[in-house]
Every structure is written in structure tokens, then in C-alpha cells.
Amino acid sequence: MPSMNDAAPLTPAGYADAVAAAVRAAAAYYTDGATPLGDDEYDALLRAVAAYEREHPDEVLPDSPTGKVAGGAVGGDVPHSVPMLSLDNVFSAEELVDWAAGLERRLGRPVAAWCVEPKLDGLAVAARYRAGRLHRLVTRGDGLAGEDISHAADAVLGLPAVLAEPVDVELRGEVLLTREQFEHANEVRTAHGAVPFANPRNGAAGTLRAKDRPYRVELTFFGYGAVGLGEDLAHSALLERLAALGANTAAATAAAPLRCAGLEEAQQRIEEIAALRSGLPFGIDGVVVKADSPQDREDAGSGSRAPRWAVARKLAAEHKVTRLLDVEWNVGRTGIIAPRAVLEPVVIDGVTVTYATLHNPADITRRGLMIGDRVFVYRAGDVIPRVEAPLVEERTGDERPVVFPEVCPRCGDAIDREEQRWRCVRGRNCQVVASIGYAAGRDQLDIEGLGGTRAVQLVEAGLVADLADLFSLTREQLLGLERMGDTSTDNLLAAIETARSRPLNRVFCALGVRGTGRTMSRRMAAHFGSMAAIRAADAETLAAVDGIGPEKARVIVAELAELAPLLDRLAARGVGTAVTAPQAPVAAAPVAAAPVAAAGGGEEEGGEEEGTSAGGPLTGEAVVVTGSMTGELAALSRNEMNELVERAGGKASSSVSKRTTLLVAGEKAGSKRAKAEELGIRILSPDEFAVLVAGHLPRG
């Protein structure tokens, strides 16, 4: 499918095929969510159809999706009192400017203000209340009539059975599966022998229409409009009114609707919501811009398909459809055997994706994947792409089962299958070279001269079986290795000796404990102050550390028990024995709470502020570092820069937002500097920052 911006013009036959394909996709998308097209492909199809019809207005087919609500999807038998319209789309900042200019020409005056809110990726519904009690829940259907889905209302969180006031009103909004609800729904479905949902929208559509299921799947409602209430209110004020009645809105999330005085401010809010996208607990496929004033809305009016006073600024799709070509089995440094999907290359959000995570063997079984399947692939921001589910209805019979390994793919030893994530029975010993290489890395022990080739030499020579063995190496042993002369031997021994006194967070990170990384290692070191205190902590104590929940705490306790002999040997060699006073936790910058918790994810470099210590010249500062550092900071890695920020009392973050108070902008700072300038954030050069934190710079 060509991209939405470079599609070739359609021929008459191609136009007819495109209309038929769009109608089929819309019917699937708006009924059970099982469309074979990703959002970008569907949008491109509609734009190609519309372009053909502009050039050939006398050839428009009667079933064309253009000008129709929900692309002409199937309606229902419950008429809407007021049509439930779709939204027109724009795909760039320039198109939004053109759309806004057209609206202002129609009004004959500037728009008074805009309201900007996330475009939720769910199903539009109308909830009718009589005297404040929920009477009926109806889908949008074709915009004129929808389907009665009242039977599902009690499973929709955020949609109260009784409002705070006894009013007659129809609330309008979106019902969706949050990321957490989606994962739980698929666990429940597969436990009952059902096929997992392909994506959250597919799951929401199927769940709302399902009856007499032997299990319950919860969804979430977000209100964004009403009929019979507040027609004379600004849209931003209406959202506040909905919340006061007890309905859930996006106001409680980080992507809360915002009233913007002008289009430039609205564009800025769009960028902010787009940047938050991957961290939101629910999916969005765009950002909606609406005229806030009731007078502007009334004067602009509506067309047959969409209001003229609102538009959706679409974002690049996070879901795409491609083919699963193979499954590879890789062994990580802790012995975890991880499946990886090999995909037919597909571009998602500007990135060509050829591999995606499959989590674990149980996940493959739960999703019912087969080699050759057409599959939905999901990617949000910098998150590793993952395969969500197969398009079972598109199978041809040529698909074949995924073959699971009988023994460890690396060493041929047995596999421990007790947990969902399979592991070689040799654990870390299966990947000693990888473990040593990771531990010696710059952001861990920083042992210069101990690269991959040297690690292989040491392991194959029988000199190193684990991390502790590094600190027992002798000059004679190293000189006996190929290509190890006096100078390289002395340099490596000196680097190992320096590594012996690395701070606690670096030593802990070098262990490669599952569920932790650089950020979590810093938090744990600051929280406990010594390796002995970390080892003595039980799961409940560990769970008190910011970012460690009960489940991760249990994993860490088990890992530390497994590592106990290694830790004893490291301590005997004076590694990781430094003791500092535990630091009191510092409150993080306020973040708007979401109505439900987000699904779990990696803790590394995700854009949220990291743990910090109190005091220092950066106390109270939220700091972002971007670009190449120069001067005294040139030798510091990004992780070392984050450590420096925290030593000086600040909070390190990877993305610029309104909460950012300081940007350290090196060479080629790029978009982060531009955004900081727009937000009026203080910007320092590397040299200026080095002067500010001079007392906290690393020695040597």
C-alpha cells in the first residue's frame, strides 16, 4: 500500500477496487475491529478515493465511503436523537493551519480559542440517562442509528450507572481497552480457549457486542461530549461538567484537554500529547482540535459527515499489518531464552521494523501464532516493537506451527520451563562472555581494554568463569594470552583495579539483575546505601523503592539469592563494599494520574524523571541533556551525565516538557533545544553547566 502522501493516482478500475476495499475495511473496523488494514493504510486508501472523486465527480460510486460517517459502516436499529458524526482528518501541521484558516474564513473572524484533547482509539458510544440513571448504551453505527449494547454497560469503568445529578442527558464518548485491560482480556480469553484479540480496538468492539460470555472483560469510558447539556458552554467547560456528573474524562490523564488561546499554542499542545503517547495507559491515534466557543461552533455548523469546527490531527500509526516469516530463539546474558519474530519489513512511525518481541513461549501459544501469519505489529515511541495477534481470518492453509526448542539453542543443555520465560539450566553460565562484556561496559564497571574479543579469550582460557574471577587475574595469567604484551597487560590490570572501587550503583548494575538497569540501580543504591542492605531486603522492603512493584521485587529477591555465591566472592575481593548513608526519597515532579494503571514496561530511559538525591546546585531542577557534550563533559556518557545531574540534586529526564526547568544543549541539540526555546526553558551550554555543577564532577 503506498503512503498517504505519495500514492499514485487511481485508474477507474483501481478506484472501484479501492472503494470496495475501503467499505470492507470500514465495516470490519467499526463493527468488530478486525480490519486487515492498519490505520495508515486505511487513511491512504480514503485519500486516494477522495482524490479520484475530486478529479472525476461524475464517476462517484454510490457506496463510496467519502462523505459518510464511519466510512459507511453498518448502522443499527436505535436512531440517534442528534447524528453522531465523524471527524475530518489532517496529517501535518501545515494541513492544520490550512484547515483553521478555512474555518476562520467561514466565520469571518478569528476563532476565539481552541480546545485540544487526545483522540482516543476506541468505539464512539452514546449513553442515555433518564433522571440521572443510565437507560441505554448505543454504538455510533452509521451516525444516524446505532446498535443497543446496554448489556455491556456494567463492564465499562468510568460510565456511572447513576449520575451525580438527576438529569436527562446523553453522554457521548469513547469506550476502549486500556493497555492493562487489553493484556488482561487476552489472558482471560486464552484461558477460556478463545482466540486473543488482535489489538485493543478489536477487543473493545468484540467485548461490547458479546453476550453470554463465561468470563468478564472490563473496558473504560472517556466522555467528550453531551446532548441536552451545556450547549451554551465552552467545550473545555463542558468537559468539566461531565466530570462533575461522575463521568470519566481525559482530564485525569497526562494528556488532559487544554484550552489554547491561539493555533500556535494548540500546535504546541499537539506535540506534547504526541510525545506522551507511548507512556499513556491507553491508545490514541491522533489529537483533536476543536473550537472552544459555543458561538464559534454554532456559526460554523456541521456537514453531513463531520462538524466544521473540529478536526483530528492524525498521528503516524503505531499498529501495522505485516507477515511473520520466522521465529528466532536467542539466549540472553542471564540465560533467558527469548523468542524474536522475523517480519516482512514494515514502516511504523517512520522506522522500518524487521524484528519484534514475542515475550515468551507462552505468549506465542496464547496468541495462536503460526509462521506465515499476517500479524498486527505494535510500536509506540522508542518501545521495542511487538507482535500482537494474527489475522486468523486471512489464513490460507500454508501457515505452519512455530517450532519450540527442545534444548538450549546456545549450549544444548536442558531448559528450565517452570516459569513463563524459559531459561537455560546453566543460567548466566550459558552466556559468560556476554555477562562479562556487559559488566565491563562503560556505564557499569567501565573496564577499558576488556572488550568482546578479550572476554572470549579469558573465558575460553578458563581464567574467568564469572565476574568475580576478573578481580583475581594475575599478570602472569594475562601475559600467557595471545596478543597480550606488557603494556596491554598492565593497562588491563590497572583498569580492573580501578573498577574494584566503582560506586555501588555501578557494581549492582554490572550484575545484570533481571528487572533492573542503570536507572533502577541508581535508585536502589541511593535507597539502601550498601550491597549488604540490598541483599538483606525482602520483597516488601524492595517494593518500597520507586519503580519496583511487588512482582519485580520478587524477581529481584530470587536473583539476589541466585547471585549470593558470586556476591560473597566479590565482597571478598573488595568489590561493591562501599557504604554510604541511605538517602531520603525526594518527591518526583507531579504527573497527572491516569484513571487506570498503565501496563508494565521497561524502566530504562523512558522519559520519566529518575530518582535523585537532595541538595546541590540542581535541587528542584528537572534536567534534560541533549546533543554532544564538549569541554569537561566531553568524556561523559549519557548515563554519566544523568548520574552527574542526580549527584547535584536534580532529576534527570530524557524528554522536554513543561515540567523541564533546565536543558543542557550540546552540539547538534536539534528538536529538544527548539522545544525548550518555545517553552521558555533555561538553556545552558556544556561549559556553563560544568561550572554550575563543578563540585560534583567526577574526579580523574
Please say if 119 is a catalytic residue.
yes
CB 469 within 8 A of CB 478: no
Non-local (6+) Cβ contacts of 467 within 8 A are 435, 436, 439, 510, 511, 566, 570
Backbone dihedral region for residue 270 (phi beyond 0: left; psi -120 to 50: alpha; all else: beta): alpha
Report whether 499 contacts 598 (CB < 8 A). Answer: no
Grid cell in block for residue 449: 581494554
**Rounded to 10 degrees, what is the CA torsion of 12, 15, 16, 22?**
180
Neighbours of 524 (CB within 10 A): 27
Strand partners, 599: none
d(CA 470, CA 459): 10
The alpha carbon of 193 is separated from its chain's Cα centroid by a whole number of angstroms, namely 28
3-state SS class at 330: strand
Write the DSSP symbol of residue 236: H
What letter would DSSP give residue 300? H
Tell me the three state secondary structure of residue 21: helix
**Residue 628, Cβ density class (10 Å: 0-12 exposed, 13-18 middle, ≥19 buried):** exposed
**Within 13 Å, how many C-alpha atoms sit on residue 575's CB side?**
26
620: left (phi over 0), alpha (psi -120 to 50) or beta: left
Q: Which residues contact 451 (CB under 8 A, 6 or more apart)?
A: 437, 440
Grid cell of 70 as nine digits = 464511519
Q: Which three cell numbers stand for residue 69?
A: 460517517
Q: Of 411, 464, 363, 427, give the one whose Cα is nearest residue 558.
A: 427
CA pair distance 667, 629, nearest whole angstrom: 7
Question: What grid cell was written down for 625?
Answer: 541533556
Burial 231-251 (b: 16+ CB within 10 A, else e): eebbbbebbebbbebbbbbbb
Which residue bears the cell 536473583?
559
Contact 175, 156 (CB under 8 A): yes
Catalytic residue among 119, 552, 651, 675: 119
Instruction: Report helix, strand or coil for 201.
Output: helix
| Distance (Å, whole) CA 238 – CA 230 | 6
CA atoms 359, 365, 369, 370: torsion sign: positive
SS3 assignment, position 575: coil
Task: Quote the CA–CA distance of 155 and 204 in Å, as a whole number.
Answer: 11
d(CA 190, CA 500): 49
Residue positions counted in the chain: 700
Catalytic residues: 119
